[in-house]
Structure formats: structure tokens, C-alpha cells
Amino acid sequence: MIITCPINKQRLWNTLMELGNIGLTSSNKAEGLTRLSLSKEDLAARSYLIKLMEEAGLEVRVDPIGNIFGKLNGSKKTAPVVLSGSHIDTVHQGGMFDGALGVLGAIEAVRTIKEAGINLTHTIEVVSFTDEEGTRFGTGYIGSKAMAGVLEEKIFTLEDDDGITYREAILNAGLDPLSYKEATRKKEEVKAYIEMHIEQGKVLEEHNMSVGIVTDIQGPIWLEVTLIGNPDHAGATPMHMRKDAALAMAEVLLEIETIATTYKGVGTVGKIKVEPGGVNIIPGKVSFSVDLRHVNKELRTEMVNKVFESLDRVSNRRRIHAHIDVKKDVDPASCSKEIVQLLEEVCSELSIPTKKIQCGAGHDSLIMANYTKMGMIFVRSKDGISHNPKEWTDLEDCAVGTQVLFETLVKLAK
């Protein structure tokens, strides 16, 4: 690797570890982080981030939906800004690197630019988008959607598991839900968006590479399905007289596995609630989430249709009522060919081995793809594990990814 202006990898690592200490699920570190969007843990992480940006000498701004921006001014105020970042909210019992690396890596890259006294024409803004994960309110990409002007007002009535609405959560964070449209920025204001993220898969590890260049990102559809049967006595109701919602769900779940496998996509049911929930009561109601993804939009639509057909068939045969709510529907996206080429050039100049790679997980980049030129740098994940406390990326790999990010931002902002 040929580097003339190295980022400070130990400083980057220290910030990853510091942020990784905020929102621990329990006193046992092995249980990971639970920093759901706008929770008190997330608010503490936001405060940490703002302080870090200020220490780095960035001009900090928080928009009405809670996106945090840290700005390094370029010489030409009217030139479109180069944006780079990710998110700092996590899933339940998540890891230290998902999202965090993209935000903290961008801060480190910009700090290095500042310290090296590199003159830029374009302003660079580091961004931490609000609620990428969607874990708390069942949707996600809220901050990037608001910035791109595609956030739907109906999200404010969504409730978390404790009955707190999105509106209340935003207010509690000291933000103003009524002003969310002010978070929208004109497309002309932004030149490009670069997101560095851990791979969350095993491809880079298999190829013994620190970084990859993303070409396409799978688009997720999230459904919330409710099946209503009849709660009844587990001992006194003969099998043929039951309307057991859990059995209907079990059939559908196995069909989802077959559908995802057949279409070479992915399908997951990660959240299930059975009611009334008694050992001796036939389940009268179940609700469950469905997450379906594919890089090809048409094939994903076919997968969704097959799941709908399955729900129809199974609930008719079992005399169950099915209700389906679409909670998220984001198209798959391709990265800008220009940025892919730029990232290839940067890696080649630095003599960093890399390869093009498809992305399985969802990112704010999916939203940014319809808004500006978007590109993603992937960094090797240990054993491909993510959304899990064991999520890990080595310091050296974080440093290589951040060096690539630094060089790319300099080229874009020159």
C-alpha cells in the first residue's frame, strides 16, 4: 500500500471503541449494543458524536429529523457538497461496527484532510442519518428519506413496542416533527454520497481482501402480517375444530423459505408474537414480520406475490383471517458507475487489492441512489457475522477502508 497522507488509525479505533461502549445491552459486553433509534441510548450516542465532530473542528448542524451533519468548508461556497457517513442506531443486541464505521471513518478522513491542510473546493459533510435500522418503529431509512424529500408523514403515527409514537420519540429528542420537510435538501446541493460500511458477509474474507467496491444493493420489503383465528381450550377442542393461527403461520413460514430459495433471494421472519400466549390456549392471533430482498426488482415483486398467494391459500384452507401491512418497500439500487470507477482508481493507486461486490444488507445508500451519485466501500467482516454482538472488523481493515474513503473524498472535493 502506497500512502502519502495516512489517516490516524489508532484515533479511529479509539472512537469506535468509545461509541461501542454507549448503549450496551447489559453489563455483560457479550450481549452487544441495543441503541434503537431515538432511545435514550441513541441520544447518548448522538451527544458523543456531536462532541467528536466539534473536537474535530467541524461545523455541526442537526436537522429537524435528527440527521447530524459535520461540515468541513471548501473554498467555493456555491459548489455542491460531498456527503459521507452512515448511521449510529443499532438493532437489538447489535454490534459495534454496523453504521458506526461509516460515520466515524468519515470523521477521521475529514480530520486527516484538515490536519494535512489540503485545500478543497467542495465542502465535505459527514452525516449520521436518523433511524437507518428501522428496528424500533418497523420501517427505517428515516433520515435519508427526509433529506431526499421522500419521507411520508404517516410514519409519525407509527408506534414502538411500548406504544410510543414516532412523533413523541422525535419530540423527546428535542426535535420538531412538524418541521420535518425542512430536512429536505435540493439535489443540486449535493455532488455525491459515499458510504463506508462493514460487509456483513463473507466474500472479502474468502478473497483475503480488506475492502470491496459495491456495485448493487438488494432492496428490502418489510411486511407485518396478522393472522386471526380463534383462541380456544387446548384440551377440550378437537384438532379438526380449531382455527389455530400459529399453525397457519408455521405453514407460511416454511413456504417463505422455499420461495426465497427458488428465486435466489432472501426471506426472513424475525419477529413473531403469539396471542393470547398461554400454554393451554389455542393461538387465536399471531403477528409476524416478513423481510424479503433481491437485487432484481421484478424478481422481488414475484417473491412478494408468492408470499401473498401463500397467505391467501393457507388462511382460506384453515378458515383464518389474514391482514397484511407493507411497512417498508425500497427498490434495489445500483451504485454510480462513475464512483465505482473512482474507487477502483483509488484502490489501484494505493495498491490495495479489491473486488466488486454485491450488497445484501440495506443502507441509506438505497435512498441516496435516487438522489445523488452514490458509492459504497465495503470493509471485511470477521466470519461475515453482523446484527450480532460478535460482529467484528479488525483495526487494520478499518484503517484501509478509511484510507480509501479519505483519498476518494479528496478527489471528489478537490
Interface residues with ligand GLV (CB under 6 A) are 133, 220, 361-362
Pattern of binders to Mn ion over 85-124, x per CB under 5 A?
-------------xx-------------------------
364 binds, among Mn ion, ligand GLV, none (CB under 5 to 8 A by kind): none
For residue 385, the minimal CB distance to Mn ion (Å) is 12
In terms of DSSP H, where are the helices of 76-221?
100-116, 142-148, 166-172, 203-206
For residue 334, the minimal CB distance to Mn ion (Å) is 19
For residue 53, the minimal CB distance to Mn ion (Å) is 19
352 binds, among Mn ion, ligand GLV, none (CB under 5 to 8 A by kind): none
Query: Which residue in the block uniquely carries the three cell numbers 464512483?
Result: 339
Binding to Mn ion (CB under 5 A) within 137-196 occurs at: none
Q: How far apart are CA 58 and CA 52, in angstroms?
A: 9
Smaller CB separation from ligand GLV, 90 or 123:
90
Q: Which of 129, 174, 135 is nearest to 147 (CA)?
A: 129
Smaller CB separation from ligand GLV, 230 or 289:
289
Smaller CB separation from ligand GLV, 363 or 373:
363
Q: Which residue is nearest to ligand GLV (CB)?
A: 362
Check: CB of residue 163 under 8 Å from CB of residue 176. no
Quickly list DSSP for 134-191: -TTTS---HHHHHHHT---GGGGG-B-TTS-BHHHHHHHTT--GGGGGGG---GGGEE
For residue 220, the minimal CB distance to ligand GLV (Å) is 6
Q: Does 63 bind Mn ion (CB under 5 A)?
A: no
Smaller CB separation from ligand GLV, 102 or 362:
362
Based on DSSP, count helices (H) and strands (E) in the chain, helices before strands.
Answer: 11, 14
Check: CB of residue 375 under 8 Å from CB of residue 86. no
For residue 388, the minimal CB distance to Mn ion (Å) is 10
Alpha-carbon torsion angle 271, 274, 280, 281, nearest 10: -170
362 binds, among ligand GLV, Mn ion, none (CB under 5 to 8 A by kind): ligand GLV
For residue 361, the minimal CB distance to ligand GLV (Å) is 4
The interaxial angle of helices 9-19 and 395-413, nearest 10 deg, is 110
Q: How far apart are CA 375 and CA 103, in angstroms?
A: 15
Instruction: Give the binding site for Mn ion (CB under 5 A).
Output: 98-99
